[in-house]
Chain A
Amino acid sequence: MRWLRTVFPPLLVGIVGLGLWEISVKVGRIAPFILPAPSAIGEQFWLDREVVWRAGLASGANALVGLAFGAAAAVLAALVAARVRLLAEVSVPVAALLNALPIIALAPILNNMFESTSSIPRRVVVGIVVFFPVFVNTLRGLREIQPVHRELMDSYAASGWTVARLVRLPGALPFLFTGLRQASSLAVIAAVVSEYFGGLQDGLGSRITSAAAFTAYPRAWAYVVGACLLGLLFYLVTLVAERLSMPWRSP
């Protein structure tokens, strides 16, 4: 029953929204290059489902690999930065600078650095995009330690790394997952958008640009829906991982 109550309202809003969209496109005679009807998009999605699936797999793999490496690097960097005070003070502005850089703009440069059949450039872009939110959040979590925990570990004569392993790291988990939740959506966006700038054309991004170039707007939108579903999947998997890795939070 509770499940129904949490799922039903947003579902209803979604269906009503789609209905209004369909009616306003049909009644308002809106040109398909401005906004195709959802029925047309749905039809294209179904016709192209195999291609959407394959392109989704390619983009998903890029996003996943980039996310895994970017997040792992970010956690390691945060661990080191939290241990060395000077590094922590220097690293946050550097990381902020890195984040201000339009990382997607690196895509064409990275594409030229590798062969045109390589998936590495897109994965590198994803990795860089993912790094920042995970690093900043994890670092904040690692530096936040309750005074009572600090005194307790002092009374045990525990070394710095022992404290990091037993107190700081588990204490930083909620922060890490806040970063990962942001990063999981960003990873998919980066994986899709980086294809707009050349390189290997086997993902959702290239499908969207080529469909739009052929004025096949409902098809372009069908791939956008695919990208949307992929982003949603990444987000949900992160949420489930969060639940599973912190059993003490859900009694």
Chain B
Amino acid sequence: MTAVSVQGVRKVFNAGRNDEVVALSDVDLTVESGQFVSLIGPSGCGKSTLLRLIADLTAPTAGSVTVAGKPARRARLDQEYGIAFQQAGLFDWRTVRRNVELPLELRKIPRQRRRERADEMLALVGLSDFAAHYPAQLSGGMQQRVAIARALAVHPKLLLMDEPFGALDEMTRERLQAELLAVCAKTETSTVFVTHSIPEAVFLSDLVVVMSARPGRITDVIPVDLGPRTEATRQSAGFFTAVTKVRKALRGTPTAVTADT
């Protein structure tokens, strides 16, 4: 089954004004169920916009977005996906556990089950001991893990992530990448992951979608087949080949743009 289907999507900001920006043009993308797909590209290539279109946080100017076989809006109202942003976006006044419980609370899940689920998710991201803490008492990496636990709490079939590890140091980042893959494998979640780190995209993904700016569009889709990821994957020849491939695809695009114009 297809988790996400984006067809002929175009997104224009400030249409008809002087500062009109074509954020996305002619975008087609399919994410199969259980697939991990990364969107990578320079800033302004519309990768975050594409993610927000899938999440129905913004509407396309033209084209259609389907999530879990439903129009994106219906999918959002049915809460078919979990989402995490670059900022953890935790609520200061809720304890870690109650932050994770929030999406469940909004779904009117009974208190007892809410608590069980939250504890289960916190165990998954290794933060069981911090359930009663407030977010301000946690490091940035820990807060981001809470945000991921919150996104996973509803057991979504689709996980959307917008540079969730962008603000973290390299070591925390690599650890969280491995944790995320383990969690996704365990819960059989499809994932769309926005990043601007090539090694991160290659390490995590089954499919790396390369985008370019002005106008934002997809220039290349690179399948990555490295089998189950371990720490050794980062040193493997296949990993470097894939990194080089993505890097070339990213480099290739600006020259192509100049050639076009």
Contacts and interface: CB of A to CB of B under 8 A. Distances in A.
B76 A155 contact: yes
B259 interface: no
B57 interface: yes
B93 A170 contact: yes
Interface string B68-96: 00000000110101010101010111100
A157 B77 contact: yes
Nearest to B86: A148
B57 A154 contact: yes
Interface residues of A, number: 21
A151 B57 contact: yes
A149 B57 contact: no
B85 A148 contact: yes
Interface string B86-111: 01010111100000001100100000
A248 B136 contact: yes
Contacts of B77: 157
B134 interface: yes
B91 A155 contact: no
B136 A158 contact: no
Contacts of B57: 151, 154-155
B9 to A, nearest CB: 19
B31 interface: no
Interface in A41-55: none
B91 A156 contact: no
A146 interface: yes
A251 B136 contact: yes
Nearest to A170: B93
A242 to B, nearest CB: 13
A70 to B, nearest CB: 25
Interface string A143-179: 0001011011011111000100011001101000000
Contacts of A23: none
B68 to A, nearest CB: 14
Interface string A167-208: 100110100000000000000000000000000000000000
A152 B76 contact: no
B103 A156 contact: yes
Contacts of B79: 155-157
A225 to B, nearest CB: 39
A246 interface: yes
B148 interface: no
A158 B136 CA distance: 25
B93 A149 contact: no
B134 A251 contact: yes
A152 B81 CA distance: 11
B83 A248 contact: no
Contacts of B106: 156, 158, 162
B134 A248 contact: yes
Given A156-B79, A156-B103, A156-B106, A151 B93 contact: no
A147 to B, nearest CB: 9
B55 interface: yes
A152 B137 contact: no
A248 B85 contact: no
A75 to B, nearest CB: 17
Contacts of A151: 52, 55, 57, 83, 85, 89
Contacts of A149: 89, 91
A249 B137 CA distance: 10
Nearest to B160: A155
Interface string B167-189: 00000000000000000000000
A156 B1 CA distance: 24
Interface in A207-251: 246-249, 251
A145 to B, nearest CB: 11
B134 A148 contact: no
A152 B93 contact: no
Nearest to A247: B134
A251 B137 contact: yes
B133 to A, nearest CB: 9
A162 B81 CA distance: 20
Nearest to B105: A166
Given A166-B102, A248-B136, A152 B92 contact: no
Contacts of B81: 155
Nearest to A248: B134
Contact of B93 (A146, A148, A155, A173): A173
8 contacts: A149-B91, A152-B89, A154-B57, A155-B55, A155-B79, A167-B91, A251-B136, A251-B137
Given A152-B89, A155-B57, 15 more contacts: A146-B87, A146-B89, A148-B89, A151-B89, A155-B81, A155-B83, A156-B102, A170-B91, A173-B93, A247-B134, A248-B134, A248-B135, A248-B136, A249-B136, A251-B136
